Amino acid sequence: MHLILGSPINEMKLFSYLLIMISFLSCSDDNVWTKNQLWNRGREVDPGLKIVLPDSLKDGIKCQDYGKGCLNGFMVEAMGLRMILVKFETQEQARLEALRIDGYYSRNWVFDDTAGEPRLERFVKKVCNAIRPLEEEKKKESLKD
């Protein structure tokens, strides 16, 4: 098939095709962070952000320690302190796990070992507007009283 520009019908087809392709490329799920998105945002706040490798494979982060929907996890060092990042299939699964462990979450990621550590709490809030659901629940309860 050859497209000859100049014909209004062919130009319309080309324009429609380009719009469809752009929409596919720009589609993203606002409830999901990719590892790269999260990493890049973290590096903007802390250029020294780094992954901490386990001493052995058996010492790595295990999904069996986390709730349903856990895909993988790893440890990072941010702001000179270590925390665990755990990726979930969905935002709701991440929220439920953050509630269970009293940690922070943003979209489909849980940030473990951050609660109670002010530098890490500020970091995850700044990087991705992370929320600590148990804290939110307590605030709601206190407003009811």
Q: Count the Cβ atoms, other than its own, within 10 Å of residue 135.
A: 14
Instruction: Write the CA distances from 143 to 25, 30, 88, 136, 140, integer angstroms.
Output: 44, 30, 31, 11, 5
DSSP β-ladder status, 81-88 and 109-112: antiparallel
With H, G, I as helix, E, B as strand and everything else as coil, classify residue 49.
coil
Least confident of 7-11, 111-115, 121-125: 7-11
Cα-flanking dihedrals φ and ψ of residue 127, to 5°?
-65, -45
The mean pLDDT of the chain is 84
Helix axes 118-128, 35-45, angle to 10 degrees: 120
Q: Partners of 85 in the beta sheet?
A: 74, 111
pLDDT in tens, 58-106: 899 999 999 999 999 999 999 999 999 999 999 999 999 999 999 999 9
